[in-house]
């Protein structure tokens, strides 16, 4: 994989709220032949649609309990509504994007997670069709990937956690570093009574900070999510706030911004 490709993970609701300048920055990177591979989530929108349809949903250890009825909605919202909304927003900036889900071209293959008896049709990624992503990138398009996977038989769909999917995509592409775009400036720590962004932190330190209560509330899932991206060949994940000006190009060019989480 050429060095001119990086993987970016973003929640669907976060992406929808990002300013136009973020997408201009994406276009600028594409113009320099640095092509982002985007993996997005969409949890809140899925919950919202399930609610409208009167389908109950519950979470077990952060994973949505998934049956075929829930999967229909996951696919409709993730691969349909959110994926195409992101593609539209990117194209409005003048950049070129191509929306895919893990179903297309058997992009993401999956097996049931270990606790499938509790959560149902949730998948762990076993294979990513990296050639397909590389082909799209070579054509000059940004792949925008919805994390729905397929079983080896090609018939069964699986709901895949977006962070797990992003880490797997990065690892199969051979990318060592990935960027997680959120609505926070990084992992915060109180130093001398002042909240500051930690420039760098290890996975072990994160566990300690969660146990000690330094990382708390809504930050816990964000940080745990970023840690889930560190798998296979991925050595580090950078958490940044997408609303900061030119955040992606600054990270790519080595600026000290956000929090680096290292193995």
pTM: 0.93
pLDDT at residue 112, rounded to an integer: 96
- Quick: pLDDT tens for 92-146: 999 999 999 999 999 999 999 999 999 999 999 999 999 999 999 999 999 999 9
Q: What is the rounded radius of gyration, in angstroms, for the C-alpha atoms of the chain? A: 18
pLDDT at residue 227, rounded to an integer: 87
pLDDT at residue 2, rounded to an integer: 47
Yes or no: say if 238 and 187 are a contact pair by the CB < 8 Å rule. no
**pLDDT < 70 regions, the chain:** 1-3
**Residues listed for the chain:** 263
Q: Which residues contact 43 (CB under 8 A, 6 or more apart)?
A: 11, 12, 13, 64, 162
pLDDT at residue 16, rounded to an integer: 83
pLDDT at residue 1, rounded to an integer: 43
pLDDT at residue 238, rounded to an integer: 95
- Quick: pLDDT tens for 214-233: 888 878 878 888 888 888 88
């Amino acid at each position: 994989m050429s060095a001119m490709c990086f993987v970016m993970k973003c929640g669907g609701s976060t992406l929808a709220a990002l300013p136009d300048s973020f997408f201009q920055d994406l276009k600028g990177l594409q113009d320099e032949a640095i092509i982002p591979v985007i993996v997005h989530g969409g949890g809140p929108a899925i919950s919202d649609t399930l609610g409208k349809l009167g389908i109950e949903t519950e979470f077990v250890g952060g994973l949505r309990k998934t049956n075929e009825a829930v999967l229909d909605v996951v696919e409709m919202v993730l691969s349909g509504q959110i994926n195409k909304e992101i593609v539209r927003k990117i194209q409005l900036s003048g950049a070129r994007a191509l929306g895919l889900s893990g179903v297309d071209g058997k992009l993401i293959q999956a097996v049931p997670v270990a606790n499938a008896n509790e959560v149902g049709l949730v998948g762990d990624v076993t294979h990513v069709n990296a050639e397909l992503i590389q082909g799209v990138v070579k054509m000059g398009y940004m792949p925008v990937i919805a994390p729905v996977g397929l079983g080896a038989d090609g018939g069964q769909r699986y709901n895949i956690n977006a962070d797990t999917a992003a880490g797997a995509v990065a690892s199969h592409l051979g990318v060592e570093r990935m960027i997680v775009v959120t609505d926070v400036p990084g992992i915060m720590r109180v130093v001398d009574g002042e909240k500051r962004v930690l420039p760098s932190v290890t996975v072990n330190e994160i566990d300690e900070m969660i146990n000690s209560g330094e990382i708390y509330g809504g930050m816990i899932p964000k940080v745990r999510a970023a840690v889930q991206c560190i798998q296979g060949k991925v050595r580090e994940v950078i958490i940044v706030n997408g609303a900061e000006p030119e955040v992606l190009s600054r990270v790519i060019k080595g600026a000290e911004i956000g929090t680096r989480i290292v193995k």
